[in-house]
Homo-oligomer: A and B are copies of this chain.
Amino acid sequence: MNRLYHVPLSPFCRKVRLVMAEKKIEVELIEERYWEEQPDFLRRNPAGKVPVLKINGLTLSESSAICEYLEETVPDPALMPRDPVTRAEVRRLVMWFDDKFHNEVTSKLLYERVNKKITGQGYPDSTNVKLGAKRIKFHIDYMGWLLDQRRWLAGDHLTLADFAAAAHFSSLDYIRDVDWNRNAQVKDWYAKIKSRPAFRSILADNVPGFPQPRQYSNLDF
């Protein structure tokens, strides 16, 4: 059985979970307290980070390497386009969310509010929280601008880029940090991706100490 070492609200783990569910690859989820740096876990990934995926006798880490591996070995349904130009656009957007959005928003909201508490690092830094709350607006506007011209973030088809973005937004939605009224197109995009069967496992998550808010799993939010 495939095994994914993860934490429920990590957007990097969620991206892998979404891709596996979309491709109907079964996986057993194992919560990993990666911050405790247990030797067993560091052997699996010397970088000390989740997600780590055990699959086909391999131990894979780094979410983008895992997603590309899944795409290459289970090509159906395709989450990457065929032509190099659109592939570059998908990868640009995956990095946009996993690097820029992560630094400017996710780390400033989710990590301050949730990760610090779980890992015993104290209270949220309100300067960071304010910065994140301000910066997410720019990102929603940028997504709205993309979705003005495209059905999905990277073009006419659902790709890895949408799952990367949805992974971050779903984690932030769990702590009510997304203003869905800011942009109707972004809300429509999220409603569309949230209603996919691949999203079910993520909508069932419940994190001790952080009860799931009502709108989180509601498809009509």
Contacts and interface: CB of A to CB of B under 8 A. Distances in A.
A56 to B, nearest CB: 8
A96 to B, nearest CB: 6
A64 B84 contact: no
Interface in A154-199: none
B62 A96 contact: yes
A49 to B, nearest CB: 8
- Determine how many copies of this chain the complex contains: 2
A96 B61 CA distance: 10
A97 to B, nearest CB: 11
A69 B65 CA distance: 16
Contact of A64 (B49, B58, B95, B142): B95
A218 to B, nearest CB: 32
A86 to B, nearest CB: 10
Interface in A57-98: 58, 60-62, 64-66, 68-69, 72-73, 84-85, 87-89, 91-92, 95-96
A68 B89 CA distance: 11
A22 B26 CA distance: 40
A45 to B, nearest CB: 9
A48 to B, nearest CB: 9
A47 B96 contact: yes
Q: Which are the 7 A-B pairs with shortest beta-carbon distances?
A: A65-B91, A69-B88, A62-B95, A72-B84, A65-B92, A62-B92, A65-B88
A169 to B, nearest CB: 18
A122 interface: no
A46 interface: yes
Interface string A93-122: 001100110000000000000000000000
B92 A68 contact: no
A89 to B, nearest CB: 8
Given A46-B142, A100-B47, A142-B46, A69 B95 contact: no
